[in-house]
Structure 1
Amino acid sequence: MGFAVTKLDATAAFFVDMLGWKPAGGQPDYPAKFVTNGEMFVTLWQVTDPATAIPFSRKNNVGLHHMAITVRDLPALHMLHRKFVAHDDVVVEFAPELLGAGPTTHMMVREPSGLRLEFIVPASRIQKSAE
């Protein structure tokens, strides 16, 4: 997955420092940075002029609405929430809550460049951890 971002260094740091992903190289002249969690590979490209970049609008733009990232269990989801709330460059759209009738639980944040990221614990993982 590739994202055009307004704050390349801050967004890469979000994935590495906040989520524990690993740097996987980059292309300084592009400029781009690559990050991975071992299963997913994400390319981050710096937009040419962040001041004139057009933010995504789910009602007016075709494209990615958000990226959903599966979380191991509910304690891990709540730990991420605490980290995000304490970080000035992360906007928590909503704290962990049930998705519909549940038990799937999720939250939505915007990382430093404004990308919408959903963190979700599927029902199957909640049921397993409760057994």
Structure 2
Amino acid sequence: MSKTTATRARPLSPHLQIYKPIPTMVMSIVHRITGGALYFGILLFVAWLLAAATSEDWFNTLSVIYGSWFGRLVLFGFTWALIHHAIGGIRHFVMDTGHWLEKHASTRMAVAMPFISVAITVVIWIIGYMARGA
């Protein structure tokens, strides 16, 4: 058999650089990212629980870290990830019941999700600061 030097153009497999990002796709990706972020954020919560249960010095150290501007920013991001992921889960649950499956309805919910999750997160933090008295 003879070898040919000509190569055939093979089709590209679809990947993210080919698809145009649409709101439902972006929210699906963000839902997965927030799910992954929750694994790391829960470590902060576990560290806080362990500190509260074991040593006053460790608890005070974590309070200083979590109370800094960077710590509060991380905790705000964790709160947002938790809320956004929960809302995404509720959205998928509703879609599993057969509702919001039409293109316009699912797109509208996907566009609304970031605004709803940020609004709920801000309200939770405002309530937290009001309850804290600071």
Return the TM-score normalized by structure 1.
0.24
Rg (Cα) greater in structure: 2
Question: Which protein has the bigger helix share?
Answer: 2
Q: Which has the higher strand share?
A: 1
